[in-house]
Amino acid sequence: MADEALVVIDLQNDFCPGGALAVTGGDEIVPLVNDMIRRNDHVVLTQDWHPAGHSSFASSHPGAQPFTSIEMAYGPQTLWPDHCIQGSLGSDFHSGLAWTKAELVIRKGFRPDIDSYSAFFENDHKTPTGLTGYLRERGINTITLVGLATDYCVAYSALDAVRQGFRTTVRLDACRAIDLNGSLEAMIARMREAGVTLEDHLTD
């Protein structure tokens, strides 16, 4: 459909098994995502794209451990292992991903002092990536989100998409989660409450 787009979130090596911030089963979704790419007229990808020494890396904060939280100027920030460093193998899309059909690749997280989960806004919830304007100019008003990870970049993208007025679906069977301290259940509840359509074709 001309007014619909598939948005593939961060299907990169560092989020797949063997990567620096591996999501369990992250590579399992590649065949399904490829099938969805083939069946969609409009495809957008996002790519985590951090400079070395990014402020969201635990290694940038002496004594800090990955998966703990600190307070940043824009609010609480989970600290992560170094991942998706610009130009690294870990930042590349999974080698099995048939992504060349994509009309746009949104790179996010490249500002050293602010992380970016959402495809639409940085973590200050104010700095736009440009995706909203791109979709609107193309006449796209409906999006489906897939990718990694369900409870972080996919969920925050879905919440922002609804706020920006897009009809938004998350295909849960084409996502995988980190599930840090119950984050999956919490973010699924937030998405449902916000009006995101949650589909899981494995259980339909």
What residues are annotated to the active site? 10, 108, 153
In this structure, is the dihedral angle defined by the CA atoms of residues 122, 124, 130 and 132, taken in order, positive or negative? positive
**Residues 6 or more apart from 94 whose CB is under 8 A from it?**
11, 12, 13, 16, 26, 27, 30
- Report which DSSP code applies to 3: T
What type of residue is 178?
A: I
Sheet containing strand 142-148, edge to edge, reads 104-108, 43-48, 4-9, 142-148, 167-176, 197-199
| 167-176/142-148 β-pairing | parallel
Q: Alpha helix (H) ranges present in 75-203?
A: 131-137, 155-163, 183-194
